Amino acid sequence: MLDVDMDLAQSSAHAASTESRIPRCHLPCDEPRGPEGGYFVHLNPVRAKLLGKADRMLSYPWSSFGWYLTVPAQRPGWIRVDRLLGEHGITQDTPAGRREFERRMEVRRAQETDGSEWAAVRRGWCLGGEQFRQQMLDRIAGRLGEHHSGELRRESAELKAERIVAEELQRLRWTEADLERRHKSDPEKLALAARLRGETTLTMKWIATRLQLGTRNSAHVRLQNRKHAKKK
């Protein structure tokens, strides 16, 4: 995950005051993001109102932005200047190229008004393609806590549920059409529903819809009857 706050460990008080104001998201680090990824990260202090109108973006000390404008000998080794400049069409890491990069960032800063174009990113947890999204879900499966967003937990649970469904369909030699065709009280369908109920945090409504079990309430009743019947 790329983060605009690179050195907050040096000032815990500063971190406490700014952390909640800067939007965060996961960005794919192993594939080109284009200029928009850099805009989103480096303009965060502007959106959080941590800079005055007359302040250069370079003056914000807790951003990696300044490292892209310094000479190579003074930069940390992990800074990929060539990549970010290249995404802006700047082919040379020279004083002129770095000045052009800052100019473009300041122009984009001036173009932003209410930031509505980033609203979807702020509400989401991932900025990247569908393949990257699935990779992130795979990596965090089973490691989510209350501090993660509800959207992220829901997507992770749905991904796990779909894998369980695919596994059971393969075992039963069923297709999606079989789920729709078979009766709502089919023992195998109810067994699959019970497994989803026990191994995921998804709602009964989601399970009933996915497995063609009718309404949420009727599916709940069928599962309860199945449970009582197994105890006899």
Instruction: For 53-88, write each residue's pLDDT tens digit.
Output: 888 888 888 888 888 888 888 888 888 888 888 877
Residue 135 domain-assigned (yes or no): no
Instruction: Please check the confidence at residue 125 and state whether its pLDDT lies above 80.
Output: no
Same domain assignment for residues 114 and 203: no
| 207, 158 Cβ separation under 8 angstroms | no
In this prediction, residue 63 carries a pLDDT of 84
- Of 123, 152, 183, the one marking the end of a domain is 123
Same domain assignment for residues 102 and 76: yes
Instruction: Please check the confidence at residue 5 and state whether its pLDDT lies above 60.
Output: no
In this prediction, residue 1 carries a pLDDT of 38
Same domain assignment for residues 112 and 59: yes
Average pLDDT over the chain, rounded to an integer:
75
% of the chain surpassing 70 pLDDT: 64
Same domain assignment for residues 34 and 119: yes
Does the predicted model carry a pTM greater than 0.85?
no
Residues 6+ positions from 1 with CB-CB distance below 8 Å: 24, 25, 26, 27
Query: In Å, how far are 120, 131, 184 from 100, measured between CA atoms?
Result: 29, 33, 64
Residues 6+ positions from 29 with CB-CB distance below 8 Å: 2
* Residue reference for tokens 């914000």: 60
In this prediction, residue 76 carries a pLDDT of 87
Residue 136 domain-assigned (yes or no): no
Residue 129 domain-assigned (yes or no): no
Residue 157 domain-assigned (yes or no): yes
Residues 6+ positions from 157 with CB-CB distance below 8 Å: 200, 201, 202
Q: Of 153, 36, 55, which Cα lies nearest the Cα of 104? A: 36
Number of domains in the chain: 2
- pLDDT-derived band at 146, boundaries 50, 70, 90: low
Same domain assignment for residues 117 and 150: no
Residue 105 domain-assigned (yes or no): yes
In this prediction, residue 17 carries a pLDDT of 44
Mean of the pLDDT values across residues 220-225? Answer: 93
Domain containing 215 equals: 141-231
- Of 64, 91, 123, the one marking the end of a domain is 123
Instruction: Please check the confidence at residue 210 and state whether its pLDDT lies above 90.
Output: yes
| 94, 71 Cβ separation under 8 angstroms | no
- Of 75, 90, 123, the one marking the end of a domain is 123
